[in-house]
C-alpha cells in the first residue's frame, strides 16, 4: 500500500465510484458535481489536502480530504471525507492528517457526521461539542 497527496483532478476522479456509494447509503447529500467544483477550486490551496491510497496494482483503496483553518481562536483541521477499504488504511489516514495538522500548529480535528454518531464517538474518540442546525430558506 502507498498513500500520496494528490492535486490532479483526473486522478481524483477515480474516487467517484466511492462517492456514489456514499450517496446511495445516505451519508452525504451534496451533489457530486458540487463536491468536484469545491475540490477543483481548492487544489492550489496549501491548506487543502487530498490523499489517496493505492494497493500494489495501483487500484484506489481509499482517500481522505481535509482542510486547515489557521484563523486565531478557531484553528481546526476539518476532515471532509475519509473512505478506506479497511482499518489499516483508515488508521494511516488519521496518522497523516494528525501529522499535517501538527506541522501547522493545529491541535483540533473536526468532522461532521449525520449517522452513527455514538459509534464514531466511541471508535475514533471524537466528542460531540455542538449541534449543527439548518433550515431551508
Q: What residue spans of the chain are helical by DSSP H?
A: 9-12, 16-24, 32-42, 87-103, 117-124
Q: Which residue has the cell 489499516?
A: 88
pLDDT attached to residue 135: 57
Q: Based on the structure, what is the number of domains in the chain?
A: 1
pLDDT attached to residue 27: 77
What is the total residue count of the chain? 137
Q: Is residue 129 part of a domain?
A: no
Q: Is residue 87 part of a domain?
A: yes
Q: Which residue has the cell 495501483?
A: 58
Longest C-alpha distance within the chain, in Å?
A: 48
Q: Is residue 53 part of a domain?
A: yes
pLDDT attached to residue 28: 78
Q: Is residue 136 part of a domain?
A: no
Q: Is residue 133 part of a domain?
A: no
Quick one: 101 exposed, middle or buried, by C-beta within 10 A (0-12, 13-18, 19+)?
buried
All residue ranges of the chain with pLDDT < 70 are: 114-116, 130-131, 133-136
Provide the CATH number for the domain around residue 101.
Answer: 3.40.630.30
DSSP 98-112: HHHHHHTT---EEE-
Q: Which domain holds residue 95?
A: 2-124
| Separation of alpha carbons 121 and 108, rounded Å | 15
Amino acid at each position: 500500500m502507498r498513500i500520496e497527496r494528490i492535486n490532479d483532478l483526473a486522478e481524483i476522479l477515480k474516487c467517484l465510484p466511492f462517492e456514489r456509494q456514499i450517496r446511495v447509503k445516505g451519508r452525504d447529500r451534496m451533489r457530486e458535481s458540487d463536491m468536484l467544483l469545491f475540490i477543483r477550486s481548492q487544489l492550489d490551496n496549501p491548506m487543502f489536502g487530498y490523499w489517496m491510497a493505492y494497493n500494489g496494482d495501483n487500484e484506489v483503496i481509499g482517500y481522505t480530504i481535509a482542510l486547515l483553518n489557521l484563523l486565531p481562536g478557531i484553528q481546526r483541521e476539518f476532515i471532509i471525507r475519509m473512505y478506506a477499504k479497511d482499518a489499516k488504511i483508515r488508521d494511516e489516514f488519521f496518522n497523516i492528517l494528525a501529522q499535517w495538522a501538527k506541522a501547522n500548529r493545529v491541535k483540533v480535528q473536526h468532522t461532521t457526521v449525520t449517522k452513527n454518531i455514538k459509534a464514531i464517538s466511541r471508535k475514533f474518540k471524537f466528542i460531540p461539542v455542538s449541534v449543527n442546525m439548518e433550515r431551508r430558506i
